Amino acid sequence: MITCRPIGTADLSGIASLLRCGFPTRDIRYWCTGLQRLGTIQPAAGFVQFGYMLEAGGVPVGVLLVISSPSMHGTITRCNLSSWYVMPEFRAYAPLMVMRAIRNRSATYLNVSPAEQTIPIISAQGFIKFNSGVFAAPVSVASVGSGMHLAWLPRHWAQIPTIPPGAMQLLTDHHRFGCVCLWLQDETGGLPFIFRRRLVTWARIPSAQLIYCPTLEDLERHAGCIGRFLALHGMPFLMVATDRPLRGVSGRLFPNRQPMYSRGPQPGRSSDLTYTEAAIFGF
């Protein structure tokens, strides 16, 4: 008998092994660490902690992770559907997990790394593409910085009373996830920027993947200040999910490299990947 149910804490070891089987380029430590981080997030009301699983004879045979969080700019709940895998002999049951996961019509659902073979399926389920490309740039040639004060550690943020509570929570949570979290401050106010360190290409070049900025215009305006920080901390390249080049930043746009999809009342935004697999697990 095949059952579909929420993933519980006691299931995590088996789920990590199943994910390792389904995504063999990731080792077991990657999945265990990411699931542990996911367990620290308070899910939005009415949503599950980890996601859903298919079970046959007491053994996990399918998994769909669900990462829920309130939107930073409103009351709409966002859910990132991630790491969808079902063992081949049980794939006829795969839609059961998806239908359980997307049944709340008031939420916005994101899929920021769909496998190519799943795109027709999620498109039929009402998901709409909101991003296709990725922009890459060496940070050393970014535009001149603005001279803002940059704070990158929790003890630094605690000394800045003007950081709003929501932004402080965002920075603190993502610092705990292992992200590089920056607060840029001047006399008129401040802005949060969040990046994830990743290794890119066969040469495994250390790069900074943008997870969050208020707008791409903000990133363009402060690219020099941010770029110098990233270079000094061992990340000489910047990666941004976007369909256009960054103005004032010398780099290259790679179209059709990073498709992202959303479904629901709030359109997806590629410059806001907070509380998604990109932030918690890393691409």
Tell me the domains of the chain and their CATH numbers: 2-125 (3.40.630.30), 134-258 (3.40.630)
Per-residue pLDDT of the chain (283 residues; tens, 9 = 90+): 899 999 999 999 999 999 999 999 999 999 999 999 999 998 988 899 999 999 999 999 999 999 998 655 556 799 999 999 999 999 999 888 999 999 998 899 999 999 888 899 889 989 999 999 999 999 864 444 455 789 999 999 999 999 999 999 999 999 999 999 999 987 778 999 999 999 887 668 899 999 999 999 999 989 988 999 999 999 999 999 999 999 989 999 999 999 999 999 988 999 999 999 999 998 7
Q: If you ran DSSP here, which 8-state letter would residue 164 be given?
A: -
pTM, full prediction: 0.92
How many angstroms separate the CA atoms of 232 and 246, rounded? 21
- What would you measure as the largest C-alpha separation in the chain, in angstroms? 63
Residue 263, Cβ neighbours under 10 Å: how many? 20
Q: Give the span between the Cα atoms of 172 and 68, in whole angstroms.
A: 17
Determine the Cα–Cα distance for residues 59 and 219; give it in Å rounded to an integer: 46
Instruction: Please give the pLDDT value at position 192.
Output: 97
Q: Which two tokens stand for residue 66?
A: 């669900």
Which pLDDT value is given to residue 71?
59
**The dihedral of CA 171, 175, 181, 187: what is its sign?**
positive
- The one-letter code for the residue type at 24 is P
| CA distances in angstroms from 170 to 51, 159, 230, 254, 267, listed in the order given | 22, 16, 20, 29, 20
Q: How far does Cα 236 stand from its chain's mean position?
A: 21
The Cα 103–Cα 96 span in angstroms is 11
Query: Are 187 and 248 contacting, i.e. CB atoms less than 8 angstroms apart?
Result: no
